[in-house]
Structure 1
Amino acid sequence: MEYTTTDAASTQAVGAALAPLLQAGDVILLDGDLGAGKTTFTKGVAAGLGIHRNVKSPTFNLIKEYHQGRLPLYHMDVYRLEGVGGADLGLQEYFNGSGVSLVEWSQFVAEDLPQDFLMIRLQKDDDDFDRRKIIFTPHGDRYATLVDQLAQQLHTN
């Protein structure tokens, strides 16, 4: 599924629309260049989960945890693990835990990822700074159903 947003608020709105469909143990991979909107999307998911804290990129922390919402949110930016991997971070505990994991730059921990996940690619528009194409690619039955439900929700709003 592909969806186009026109500004940061509409990118956050897509994340907020996804949030009610999420369950404990869901793993969402966020792919895109620097400035593509990965953290902006995460802010929407957080808001949709009822998390009202300021969500920032965990670039220097690697993982930020937010426990104030319907489900805990584990926001990971593993860019700094390029060439190292995430074996020592205990990622499996997050992926199998009671919250939702959103992983930016997941290619750097590919060997640590579960078999099933939802890949979300955010692409900047070369002609319009604020426009984003968001591409949802499910891996596994759970995420195929999730994308179908999200498509229905986005197209009815």
Structure 2
Amino acid sequence: MAERAVWLADEAATVNMGKSLANALKSVPSARGLVIFLHGTLGAGKTTFSRGLIQGLGHRGAVKSPTYTLVEPYDQLEPATWHFDLYRLGDPEELEFMGIRDYLAPGNVCLVEWPERGAGVLPGPDLDLTLTPEGEGRSLVFEPRTEAGQALLDRMQEQSDSAAGGQPQNLDRTDQD
């Protein structure tokens, strides 16, 4: 499975990349659900990317970081989406007490910021995303871990190519919208 990287010049580009992944999610169904891990330091853009994805799935209104609540439900979306921020998680076992297995139900999408804090309880991701601040922007690396994760990246690439008028594009470009 091939890793792909993209340069995101600013916050708007980060939101737009989240929306691109949302469009791919809509067209690549997974009966077992999808788990997407978001890695990066504080301020790297994890919640900004999540906002773009959640709005891209049709949410109208604010998308806040679930830093204190650990999870923010967007179960009215299609697919139902759960946004986790595990930064303040004291022990991975707390995930069992909050019913993590219920969120990982078939058909759901789980976005997980700070997944390393849930190690040993969380399942492996379908897609690993790593955001790294660089100058005024950030780099974003997509690493598919399952066939479903690879299908999402392939669909994003197809949509990017279609938006470019059939001319092959690469997710590694800096002008993604």
With structure 1 as the length reference, what TM-score do the two structures score? 0.89
1:1-157 → structure 2 map (5 Å cutoff): 1-22=4-25, 23=29, 25-82=33-90, 84-85=91-92, 86-125=95-134, 127-128=135-136, 131-154=137-160, 156-157=162-163
Deviations 1:107-126 (A, max 9, x none): 0112122234211001001x
Q: How far does residue 156 in structure 1 lie from its aligned partner after superposition?
A: 4.9
Contact 2:34 2:107 in 1 (8 A): no
* Structure 1 pair 132–155 and aligned structure 2 pair: CA distance change class (3 A): farther
* Structure 1 pair 34–68 and aligned structure 2 pair: CA distance change class (3 A): same
Contact 2:15 2:48 in 1 (8 A): yes
Deviations 1:93-120 (A, max 9, x none): 1122442110000001121222342110
Which amino acid is 1:57 matched to?
S
Q: Structure 2: how far apart are the matches of 1:62 and 1:102?
A: 11
Per residue, is there more helix in 1 or in 2?
A: 1
Identical aligned pairs, as a percentage?
A: 36
Q: How far does residue 140 in structure 1 lie from its aligned partner after superposition?
A: 1.1
Q: Structure 2: how far apart are the matches of 1:144 and 1:98?
A: 17
Q: Which runs of 4+ in 1 moved over 6 A?
A: none
Q: Number of matched residues?
A: 153
Q: How far does residue 148 in structure 1 lie from its aligned partner after superposition?
A: 1.9
Which amino acid is 1:138 matched to?
P
Q: Structure 2: how far apart are the matches of 1:67 and 1:51?
A: 10
Q: Which of these two proteins has the greater Rg computed from alpha carbons?
A: 2
Q: Structure 2: how far apart are the matches of 1:139 and 1:103?
A: 15
Q: Structure 2: how far apart are the matches of 1:119 and 1:146?
A: 12
Which amino acid is 1:7 matched to?
D
Higher-RCO chain (CA-CA 8 Å, sequence separation at least 6): 2
Contact 1:14 1:154 in 2 (8 A): no
Gaps of 5+ in 1: none
With structure 2 as the length reference, what TM-score do the two structures score? 0.79
